[in-house]
Amino acid sequence: MPSTGTLYGVGVGPGDPGLITLKAVDILKRVDVVFAASSTKNHYSLAMNIASRVVSKHIPVLFLKFPMTRDRERLKKAWDSNAKEILEHIRKGKDVAYITLGDPMTYSTFGYIMQAIQRLDPSVPVSIVPGITSYHAAAAASRHIIAEAEESFTVVSGALGAEQLRRIIHHTDNVVMLKVYRNYKEILDEINRLGLTRCTKLISRCGLEDEHIVYNLDNCRDKMPPYLSLLLIKKKGLKEEDET
């Protein structure tokens, strides 16, 4: 009977293939199977598109379907079903890599898959390779200092609109807001109400060929950003910009 394989959670970075870590490359060249998440509507995976340059051709790549929904019951069924599929390979002694955009432990489907597998079989070895997050890449691309000296910064999701921003804006010095596409207009209205429009940068499709950075949100009030978009908000920036 073969020994149990290992589950690797591998972050492949935000988009630029050059931002995949050496450790991630090493693992993706030697595992037995690579898994990537995709929509139930197609087999496209941006994470796989990035990793395809380093995954050895003889290694099978399997796509796991995840519904684009907030229905917790449907999502749980998908997590459990996909976890069982991965477990079938691990129990045959195969090492498998689950690749994910950015970092596996930050707003990633890997976290749900890992927990589902650990519920089904706590003995499965798990090894996680961190990846460069979209917001660190966006900060570098836009020359935006996320935090310095004694400043704090908070990472929030915009999936539910401006609610998270309103909740934390007075308790932090800087904000990184991910997943702003769907509720962009509401979020932008709140940023304007707070007087932070000139302190905010919009970065879309960071690390990809059509990367776009907006330094003045007044110029894009009526234009919806692409799906892969985030906001970097620096509260103290308003005063500094007014003085220049």
Q: Spelled out in words, what is the top-level CATH class assigned to the domain 134-243?
A: alpha beta
Q: Can you give the pTM of this predicted structure?
A: 0.89
8 A C-beta contact, residue 225 and residue 181: yes
Picking from 154, 199, 196, 156, the residue whose alpha carbon sits closest to that of residue 174 is: 154
Structure tokens at 188: 């932008």
Cα–Cα dist 113/91, whole Å = 16
Alpha carbons 155 and 131: distance in angstroms, whole number: 16
Cα–Cα distance, 148 to 174 (Å, whole number): 10
Structure confidence at residue 43 as a pLDDT band (50, 70, 90): low
CATH code reported for the domain at 7-129: 3.40.1010.10
Q: Is there a contact between 129 and 24 (Cβ–Cβ < 8 Å)? A: yes
* b/e 155-167 (16+ beta carbons within 10 angstroms → b): bbebeebbbbbee
pLDDT for 140-199, tens place per residue?
Answer: 999 999 999 999 999 999 999 999 999 999 999 999 999 999 999 999 999 999 999 989
pLDDT of residue 242: 43
What are the DSSP calls for 85-96, one per residue?
HHHHHHTTT--E
Amino acid (one-letter) located at 194: L
Handedness of CA 155, 161, 163, 166 (dihedral sign): positive
**Residues 146, 167: contact at Cβ < 8 Å?**
no
- Residue range(s) of every CATH 3.40.1010.10 domain in the chain: 7-129
pLDDT surpasses 90 at 71: no
What rounded mean pLDDT belongs to the chain?
91
Instruction: For residues 207 and 222, give the distance between their C-alpha atoms in angstroms, rounded to a whole number.
Output: 24
Residue range(s) in the chain whose domain bears CATH number 3.30.950.10: 134-243
215 vs 202: CA distance, rounded Å: 7
CA nearest neighbour of 35 among 73, 105, 84: 84
Alpha-carbon span 124 to 139, nearest angstrom: 36
Does 229 have pLDDT greater than 90?
yes
**H or E segment to which residue 11 belongs:** strand 7-11
